[in-house]
Amino acid sequence: MATRKLVLLAEDDAADVLLCKRAVANTGLDLHFCNVADGQTAAQWLSGEGKYAERTLYPFPVLLITDLKMPTSDGFDLIRFVRTRPELKMLPIIVYTASELEPDRLKAAAFGATTYLPKTADPGPLMECLRAMLDPRLAAKLRSLRGKRS
């Protein structure tokens, strides 16, 4: 029996958590969704610290979604944390934030975010981004299309 792939969300706003949960559920992929409220807790989960060492209860995610503005430790801190650890370097990171400021987008990219999506009331763009990043068939098709444009 295959285990479901985990998408971990670092987000402190309940409405945005619900929207992300809907987007993950509607991808059509076999995904499991978990949320933590800040970057520090997400870092603990990712590094397997404390209670997060029990990987049967807190599995390693296939993708991380993070807001930028959170208490304790923000999304920038979390991205930097992930990208400075060799065992986490390949983890895809979607920044899903209310900030449409170009300096925030550039900073997130410089720190190593994979994708930057402004939040909307529609889960569609996030759902499509998740599909593109996690559905192997779609990812292969996108690579093929990019190759034809070269």
Give which of 81, 76, 78 is closest to 99, Cα–Cα: 76
- Which residue spans within 4-145 are E strands per DSSP? 5-10, 31-36, 63-66, 93-97, 115-118
Measured over the CA atoms of residue 12, residue 116, residue 23 and residue 4, the dihedral's sign is: negative
Q: How far is CA 4 from the centre of its chain?
A: 16
Give which of 29, 21, 31, 36 is closest to 123, Cα–Cα: 21
44, two tokens: 């603990």
Predicted confidence (pLDDT) per residue in 97-116, tens digit: 999 999 999 999 999 999 99
pLDDT at 55 > cutoff 80: yes
Check residue 46 and give left, alpha or beta (phi > 0: left; psi -120 to 50: alpha). alpha
Domain 5-149 has what CATH class?
alpha beta
- The pLDDT-based confidence of 135 (bands split at 50, 70, 90) is confident
Three-state SS at 31: strand
Stated pTM of the model: 0.88
State the Cα–Cα distance between residues 71 and 69, nearest whole angstrom: 7
- The pLDDT-based confidence of 1 (bands split at 50, 70, 90) is very low
- Beta pairing partners, 150: none
Task: Indicate the domain borders of the chain.
Answer: 5-149
Give which of 108, 130, 149 is closest to 7, Cα–Cα: 130
Angle between helices 39-47 and 75-83 (to 10 degrees): 20
Mean pLDDT, the chain, integer: 89
147, two tokens: 């190759």
